[in-house]
């Protein structure tokens, strides 16, 4: 017969403060998982009622139960006071109450009408992998600290490189990163290292001072590329003042579909060279912009670069690499070093790597022209946040650019297993094994499953855009007519009834008052949908244009929309649109809490509503 420790006993006190043996911890984990399992129905269910012991509520049918920030703050203040007073220690009731509040008032990203961000609900396989990572608590930096996870990450990187087409022994390197912005930073630091090493090569020693002190590295990205390119450049000491002669960052105009204009890139490189000495160029090519989900034309961009730097093409260097694969530690010293680095930011659209249908359009030339490539699996592949992958064409560059060789951690002189360490390929030390999330999903879903998911996202977007085009209250913003083009975002205006005759297309938005009104309606409509909880979308501007603020739907492939759901979504937007044009309406909409009861009393005391 099992003997339990009496409340207040020394052993029980140790449990409360987190001491216990492995068996005790396993029991505690099992108990906590039981609590969480019952509560998760609040954020994963779309049906009211109860089934199999999982609690379900009417609010679970909404992507958000909105309460104002002040109410959440007062609620959190109550819990903080319980912690400070010691009341929370070991209190199952308080833990359950907190979890109920957390799950009820958090955004349900798995909901079909959560269209606010470029990520959505997470794959159950990835969720299990996340749990395993937390239980193992291995830091994926050295082989000695995480042998299986470190080798798994290396093997996954090799497999993904092979999927791109980087298959030779000297090709295919990479690292999992905590977000696409960070991955873009590592790509930039790697490129800078390559350019600096090129300036220091023996044959250029006489002009080394000229290279390092006078010549400049130019960073080119489209005006609609991700903001992290500019932020990362500033962090690394580059001058970020687009439009000024002193700026190292150049914003390239886009065409009407949101793609970088290669001819504009050609002109801007020429202008850059005419105003200052140019030693090297980093070009950020976007595969899936954040607003229009546009794909920059990589082959055409590479052609512009190859013409500007004819003796320093990636392709010519790669051809020589493939001809000289013998073990030669000095191989890179004798190769023509590229003066330009092509980075493909596929944080959004990089997942079309797995689509046989859309890859030839979305990622044309990736295997041939890219030096580095980013893919965010937590976006269109629905891995749990965060799961970003940076792939670099040439092996060894990540290590060379970032290695600090901290002797307390990396022991390559004493430990032969240290050759598998990956911690010196990045800027961080302790690392969560995000590779496990991606790998278990890839293993379980397969490449075909990944491809089906991203193709479903594109189909969802097209189906919603085509349904919007049939309603006079919606005006689409630059929707691609070509069905081979995998757009996943739908951008649009809501038109009040008195503007539908005068505004039939984007060219009709000329009058300043009309533009201001449309922008104001977009903001108010977005807010009205959020407060009502009916749907979550976002509003945006389009850099490089004078279009007023519009609305954006970000589609994913975890859910396939039926026609009835699409019509329901559009009806919700249209209903809130009618309210949005009435002065004062959004501010008067109250939070949609069950029974109309506020989760926090006026006096700041916690009121349970569950």
Q: For 447-595, CATH number?
A: 3.90.1150.170
Could you give the 3-state DSSP secondary structure of residue 215?
A: coil
CB atoms within 10 A of CB 263: 12
Tens of pLDDT, residue by residue over 212-270, are: 444 578 999 999 999 999 999 999 999 887 767 778 999 999 998 999 999 999 999 99
Looking at residue 156, its pLDDT comes to 97
CA separation for the pair 390, 377 (Å, rounded): 11
**Contact yes or no for 188/282 (Cβ under 8 A):** yes
- Reference 456, options 586, 604, 559; nearest CA is 559
In terms of DSSP bridges, do strands 249-252 and 474-476 run parallel, antiparallel, or are they unpaired? unpaired
Tell me the β-bridge partners of 391.
Answer: 174, 373
> Is the Cβ–Cβ distance between 277 and 214 less than 8 Å?
yes
- The alpha carbon torsion through 76, 81, 87, 92 (nearest 10 deg) reads 0
* Cβ neighbours of 567 (radius 10 Å): 13
Q: What is residue 184's predicted lDDT score, i.e. its pLDDT?
A: 97
SS3 558: coil
Report the predicted TM-score, pTM, of the whole model to 2 decimal places. Answer: 0.85
Q: What is the pLDDT of residues 397-456, one digit of tens each?
A: 998 888 877 665 667 665 577 778 877 788 888 889 999 999 999 999 999 999 999 999
- The H-or-E segment that residue 212 falls in is helix 208-213
Is 331 a residue whose pLDDT tops 70? no
Question: Starting at the edge strand that comes first in sequence, how are the strands of the sheet with 340-346 ordered?
Answer: 171-177, 388-394, 372-376, 340-346, 278-286, 216-222, 249-252
- Taking residue 247's Cβ as centre, other Cβ atoms within 10 Å add up to 19
- Using the predicted structure, report yes or no on whether residue 15 has a pLDDT greater than 70: no
Q: What is the mean pLDDT of residues 200-215?
A: 46
Tell which phi-psi region holds residue 595, choosing left (phi > 0), alpha (psi between -120 and 50) or beta. left
SS3 444: helix
Residue 281, SS3? strand
In the chain, what are the domain boundaries?
18-110, 138-148+157-396, 447-595
CB 264 within 8 Å of CB 252? yes
CA distance 350 to 322: 26
The whole-angstrom separation of Cα 269 and Cα 309 is 11
Over residues 525-534, mean pLDDT: 94
- Separation of alpha carbons 498 and 503, rounded Å: 10
Most confident of 334-348, 360-374, 512-526: 360-374
pLDDT tens profile 160-174 = 999 999 988 889 999
Eight-state DSSP code of residue 578: H
Query: Across residues 103-131, what is the average pLDDT?
Result: 95
The 3-state DSSP class for residue 150 equals helix
**CATH, domain range 138-148+157-396:** 3.40.640.10
Rounded CA-CA distance 116/551 in Å is 10
Please count the CA atoms within 13 angstroms of the CA of 66 that sit on its side-chain side.
17
For the chain, give the percent of residues with pLDDT over 70: 79
Which pLDDT score, from 0 to 100, does residue 508 have? 86
Supply the pLDDT for residue 585: 44
Q: What DSSP designation does 114 have?
A: B
Per-residue exposure over 335-374, b if at least 16 CB sit within 10 Å of its own CB, e if not: eebbbbbbbbbbbbbbbbbbbeebbeebbbbbbebbbbbb
How far apart are the C-alpha atoms of 488 and 349, rounded to whole Å?
9
At 346, the pLDDT band (50, 70, 90 cuts) reads very high
Q: Among the ranges 161-165, 318-322, 333-337, which has the highest mean pLDDT value? A: 161-165
Looking at the DSSP assignment, which residues form a beta bridge with residue 51?
54
Separation between Cα atoms, residue 79 and residue 74, nearest integer Å: 9
- The enclosing H or E element of 571 equals helix 563-580
Residue 28: pLDDT band (50, 70, 90) is confident
- Provide the pLDDT for residue 35: 85
């Amino acid at each position: 017969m099992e003997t339990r420790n009496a409340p207040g006993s020394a052993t029980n006190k140790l449990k409360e403060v987190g001491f216990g043996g492995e068996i005790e911890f396993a029991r505690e984990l099992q108990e906590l998982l039981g609590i969480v399992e019952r509560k998760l129905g609040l954020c994963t269910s779309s049906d009211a009622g109860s089934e199999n012991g999982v609690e379900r509520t009417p609010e679970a049918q909404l992507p958000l139960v909105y309460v104002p920030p002040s109410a959440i703050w007062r609620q959190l203040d109550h819990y903080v006071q319980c912690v400070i007073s010691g009341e929370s220690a070991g209190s199952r009731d308080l833990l359950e109450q907190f979890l109920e509040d957390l799950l009820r008032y958090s955004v349900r990203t798995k909901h079909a009408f959560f269209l606010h961000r470029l990520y959505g609900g997470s794959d159950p396989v990835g969720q299990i992998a996340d749990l395993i990572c937390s239980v193992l608590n291995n830091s994926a930096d050295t082989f000695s600290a995480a042998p299986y996870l470190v080798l798994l990450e290396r093997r996954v990187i090799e497999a993904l490189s092979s999927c791109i087409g980087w298959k030779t022994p000297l090709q295919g390197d990479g690292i999992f990163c905590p977000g696409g912005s960070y991955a873009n930073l590592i790509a930039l630091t790697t490129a800078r290292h390559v350019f600096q090493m090129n300036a220091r090569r023996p044959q250029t020693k006489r002009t080394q001072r000229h290279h390092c002190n006078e010549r400049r590295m130019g960073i080119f990205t489209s005006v609609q590329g991700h903001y992290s390119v500019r932020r990362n450049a500033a962090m690394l000491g580059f001058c970020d003042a687009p439009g000024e002669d002193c700026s190292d960052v150049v914003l390239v105009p886009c065409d009407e579909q949101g793609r970088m204009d290669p001819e504009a890139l050609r002109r801007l490189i020429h202008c850059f060279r005419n105003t200052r000495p140019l030693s090297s160029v980093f070009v950020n090519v976007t595969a899936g912009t954040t607003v229009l989900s546009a794909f920059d034309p990589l082959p055409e961009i590479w052609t512009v670069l190859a013409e500007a730097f004819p003796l320093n093409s990636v392709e010519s260097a790669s051809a020589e690499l493939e001809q000289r694969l013998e073990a030669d530690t000095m191989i890179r010293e004798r190769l023509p070093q590229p003066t330009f680095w092509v980075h493909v930011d596929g944080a959004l659209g990089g997942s079309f790597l797995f689509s046989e249908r859309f890859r030839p359009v979305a990622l044309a030339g990736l295997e041939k022209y890219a030096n580095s490539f980013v893919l965010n699996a937590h976006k269109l592949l629905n891995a749990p946040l965060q799961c970003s992958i940076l792939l670099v064409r040439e092996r060894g560059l990540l290590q060379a650019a970032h290695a600090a060789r901290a002797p307390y951690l990396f022991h390559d002189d004493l430990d032969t297993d240290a050759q598998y360490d990956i911690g010196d390929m990045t800027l961080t030390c302790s690392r969560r094994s995000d590779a496990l999330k991606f790998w278990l999903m890839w293993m379980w879903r397969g490449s075909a499953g990944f491809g089906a998911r991203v193709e479903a996202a594109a189909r969802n977007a097209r189906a919603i855009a085509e349904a919007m085009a049939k309603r006079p209250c919606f005006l689409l913003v630059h929707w691609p007519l070509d069905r081979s083009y995998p757009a996943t975002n739908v951008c649009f205006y809501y038109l009040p009834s008195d503007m539908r005759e005068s505004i039939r297309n984007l060219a009709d938005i000329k009058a300043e008052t009309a533009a201001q009104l449309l922008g104001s309606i977009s903001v108010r409509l977005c807010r009205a949908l959020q407060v009502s909880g009916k749907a979550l979308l976002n509003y945006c501007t389009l850099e490089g244009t004078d279009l007023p603020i519009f609305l954006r739907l970000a589609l994913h492939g975890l859910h396939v929309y039926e026609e009835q759901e699409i019509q329901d979504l559009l009806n919700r937007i249209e209903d809130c649109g009618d309210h949005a044009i009435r002065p004062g309406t959004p501010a008067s909409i109250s939070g949609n809490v069950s029974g109309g009861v506020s989760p926090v009393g006026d006096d700041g005391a916690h009121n349970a509503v569950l």
